[in-house]
Structure 1
Amino acid sequence: MNSTLSLDDDLQCSSDAIIDLRFANPKDISAWFYTQADRYIILVCFPLLFIFGVIGNGAFLLVVAFIEEMRTKTNFYLVNLAVADLIFILAEVYENLITHLISPTVKSLSYNTPVGCGLMFTAIFGSHFASVAFMVLLALERYLAICKPLKHRMLVAKRRTLSLVVMAWIFGFIYAVTLVSPHFFVVHKSCIIWPDDEQYANLATVTINCVPIHPAYARFPYLMQSLPYIFALIVCIYMYICIIKNLSTRSEVTASTAGNLDFEQKARRVRNQVARLLITNAAVFFGCHLPHFMLRFNDALLIYTNGRVGWKLSQSTWYILFWCNRALGTANSVVNPVIYSATNSRYRQAFWKVFTCRWKQKAPKYRKIEVSSAATKFVSRL
């Protein structure tokens, strides 16, 4: 039985780290275990997301690596986004799935050193913040190409693009290390005294968790997780609206000046395809992460206002929302390649070439169609 505490020789629990559950009510005890919904999300959803995420993002990396015409500046940003997604998926699945398999309690992790805590959460948050930065760079690149073509020509140098990508990675991990990850840098070991029932007989009496390096950090990260997301959401919405308006106006003007019905139809099709890609990519990214940051923002409101502002959730409800939100955020890293192929025929053809091992096959030569210079400029900018 667990009425007495049996500890490892190298483990010392202070008085405030001993949790006596012998006389606790069943509701408080159940809070230490995963619910059925938690187990379904962790044991079913996360493995599926891992498999499809690795296959999809890996296939996109192969597409860009093997097919020369896919090595564009936009795809260079998307390649880095795919790498960030892979890091995020690997870290998230390990942190959730392996931890659950090792211990049935929700407050026990699989790593028990400060290095493990620091590396794990830095990988999760660093890759996510880098993804946010890449979303802004993608929107900025398309905004300049379509709305500010003269300025875009001044910023298309490969060295400048590489510098922006490096800065995005640096921002993601420095922001994580300095403002968010310190919330999880210290290993905290709690010693549990379980009730004297047979169902608790074989449970571990020690749980391991990652806690802040200083009590001041306990409130800090919940708000700091939301700031880059909110900034990127506002910036991307503004630039995407400008892009769609510009595409609509330009296609009508160029089609009327070209006096070519065939070009008018092609211009409308290209405009709609680009608009679908922009809207879908942005909506899925921000939509998948919005619930998690709303939950964290609500936590920050409750903490900073001492519970006067915000929604007070029960612990079981909070955990269900937490796991659902983390699975939804991980799903975003999985569906990006699907979005590319679903909204753009070039990506579909490129994926098909890679899956059928025909990436060395050259694209067929099409008959050259003479159109006006205005039409040529319009299509090239898309």
Structure 2
Amino acid sequence: MDSSPREQLQSNCADYRVLNLTNELEASAWLWGPLEDLFFTVVLPCIMLIGFVGNVSFLLAVIRVRDMQTITNAYLANVAFADFLFVVYSCAIYLSTYLLTPVRNDVPYRSNVGCICSFGMIYLTYFASLNLITFVTVERYFAVCRPFQHLMVSGKSRTIKFIIASWVIGIIFIALIIPRHAGYFTFCVNWPKQEEYLSFPKLIQFCDTIHPDVYILSEACQTGPFFIAMIINLYMYTRIITTLNNRPAAKSESSQHSDHADAQQKQTTRVRNQVARLLIINGTIFFLSQFPYRILSINNILQQAIGIGFLDRQQYGMFLVISRCLILINSCANPMVYVTTSEFYRKGFKMAFECKNKTLSTNSSHAKSMIASISSQRGDN
């Protein structure tokens, strides 16, 4: 039987750079640890299942329920699609790597093109989500804080342009970042003499930078836009919440003291608080889940620029698992946030999977208030 390409390379070990890991302590830092074993065998499959079901369910709800087809949900549907691609693709990549090799970050059976494609998809979904979340925040900001301007410029055409721009900007950033992973390097490893290391691969491969300066540029292109977007979003979230809290409930003079007006005021206030809660939770989850990974990027920049980072290899590996886990959880969280914080989305999900009428009724003033507050404007207006 013919040997695999990787096995065939073992006899040519002298052709590659040597990685001396004969010290058992140094060798253990290159291997999957107990935390990573738990992550790959338990956490990752659960995240993959929840992310698949949650994001597909939200997309189906938007497709099947007409009143879910709003400008805001056009952005959120693209976020769900990006999250779906990210969680399924990333989990598949991580699991295959874990199952194929005992060495952390070893990527056997790839090539330069394989490295580019593997990381390219992950970066595309990240930047698309970042852009889409920022654009939907801009929509909500103008709808709440500058409603007259919003009415003049909002509509399908602008929404489509912003959504296309979100993905195109992601592709542009990929072109800047992907050289960070475009190199495919092979190392010959000298493992410790203990018996447990005898079956370990003699050759390991990594996707790495083609030049140190490219590495720094790549990490900066990931980190800079994140912090800029975080500041912009936090500013607009603050303005939206402040405006919602300060805006008085609309009441006609003839019904100012009626029970109907009092009930409507309470309902409007409840909806405003619900919207504020939705905004706060969405923003907090996204930026907090991405924040640890951006800290790793800063560590990488310092390590490459001055040779000193604030994390050693073992700490870096543990921090990397935690940060990846948080990012993957974020890709599953949005549909749950919508359902738990908004009655409008709960009704939408319920209607989407009922066997009866698939159009969410908006006859009640409550439903109309929910749509007006949460979705800003119908996408077909």
In structure 2, which of residues 236, 241, 251 is the aligned counterpart of residue 239 of structure 1? 236
- 2:3 is matched with which residue? none
Deviation at 1:97, TM superposition (A): 1.2
Partner of 1:283: 284
CA, structure 1 residues 132+49, in 2 after alignment: closer, same or farther (shift >3 Å)? same
Structure 1 pair 336–154 and aligned structure 2 pair: CA distance change class (3 A): same
Give, in angstroms, the shift of residue 286 of structure 1: 0.6
| Structure 2 Cα separation of the partners of residues 114 and 85 of structure 1 | 26
Note closer, same or farther for the CA distance 1:111–1:134 as it changes in structure 2 (3 Å cut): farther
Classify 1:378/1:227 alpha carbon distance in 2 versus 1 (closer, same or farther; 3 Å): closer
The size of the alignment, in residue pairs, is 365
Relative to the length of structure 1, the TM-score reads 0.88
Question: Does the CA-based 8 Å contact 2:351-2:360 persist in structure 1?
Answer: no
Cα 1:39–1:341 shift into 2, 3 Å: same
Deviation per CA, 1:54-95, whole angstroms, max 9, x where unpaired?
000000000011111110010000010011111111222122
- Structure 1 residue 177: deviation in Å? 2.4
Partner of 2:23: 25
Q: Select which of 193, 197, 201 maps to 1:200.
A: 197
Corresponding residue number in structure 1 for 2:330: 332
> Is 1:267–1:379's contact at 8 Å kept on the other side of the alignment?
no
- 1:64 equivalent in structure 2: 62
CA 1:262–1:362 in structure 2 vs 1: closer, same or farther (change >3 Å)?
closer
Paired position in structure 1 for 2:212: 215
Change (3 A) 1:232 1:9: closer
Structure 1: which 5+ runs fail to align?
Answer: 1-5
Measured after TM superposition, the shift of residue 16 of structure 1 is: 6.0
Alpha-carbon spacing, 1:320–1:359, altered in 2? closer, same or farther (3 Å): farther
Q: Aligned match of 1:323 in 310, 321, 324? A: 321
CA contact (8 A) 2:106 2:205 kept: yes
Report if aligned partners of 2:190, 2:202 keep a CA contact under 8 Å in 1.
yes
Task: After superposition, give the CA deviation of every residue in 1:35-58 in whole Å (9 maximum; x if it has no partner).
Answer: 101111122111111000000000
Matches of 1:333 and 1:377 in 2, distance apart?
Answer: 27
Aligned in 2, Cα 1:256/1:292: closer, same or farther, shift over 3 Å?
farther
Residues 1:247 and 1:14: Cα distance change in structure 2 (over 3 Å): farther
- 1:243 & 1:107 partners in 2: Cα distance? 43
| Aligned equivalents of 1:379, 1:204: Cα separation in 2 | 55
Instruction: Give the secondary-structure state (helix, strand or coil) at the position aligned to 2:248.
Output: helix
- The residue aligned with 1:273 is 274
Shift of 1:304: 2.8
Deviation at 1:345, TM superposition (A): 0.5
RMSD: 2.7
Hey, what's the Cα distance between the residues in 2 that align with 1:221 and 1:188?
18
Distance 1:110 1:83, change over 3 A: farther
Structure 1, 226-235 or 262-271: larger mean CA deviation: 262-271
Distance 1:104 1:379, change over 3 A: closer
Distance in 1 between residues matched to 2:206 and 2:200, nearest whole Å: 16
Of residues 99-108 and 291-300 in structure 1, the stretch that sits farther from structure 2 once superposed is 291-300
The 5 Å alignment of 1:177-196 reads 177-178=175-176, 180-196=177-193
1:206 shift after superposition: 1.3
Question: After alignment, is 72-81 or 183-192 more displaced?
Answer: 183-192
Q: Distance in 1 between matches of 2:299 and 2:209?
A: 20
Q: Equivalent residue for 2:174?
A: 176
The answer on whether the counterparts of 1:20 and 1:194 sit within 8 Å (CA) in structure 2 is yes
Cα 1:256/1:305, change in 2 over 3 Å: farther
Instruction: Tell me which amino acid in the other structure corresponds to 2:51.
Output: G
Give, in whole Å, the separation in 2 of the partners of 1:189 and 1:81: 37
Task: Output the CA distance in 2 between the equivalents of 1:137 and 1:81.
Answer: 11
Question: Measured at CA, do residues 367 and 126 of structure 1 come closer, stay the same or move farther in structure 2, by a change above 3 Å?
Answer: closer
The structure-2 alpha-carbon separation of the partners of 1:111 and 1:278, relative to structure 1 and needing over 3 Å to count, comes to farther
Find the counterpart in structure 2 of residue 8 from structure 1: 8
* Secondary structure of 2:361 counterpart: coil
Quick check: 8-17 or 290-299, which moved more? 8-17
Compared CA separation, residues 368 and 225, structure 1 to 2 (3 A) = closer
Say if 1:66 and 1:359, in contact at 8 Å, map to a contact too: no
Residue 120 of structure 1 corresponds to 118
AA aligned to 2:278 is: L
Residues 163-212 of structure 1: CA deviation (Å, up to 9, x unaligned): 1100100111220222x221111211112232333212222111111011
User: 2:35 is matched with which residue: 34, 37, 40?
Assistant: 37
User: Which residue is 1:3 aligned to?
Assistant: none
Partner SS for 1:191: strand
Letter in 1 for 2:208: V
Normalised by the length of structure 2, the TM-score is 0.88
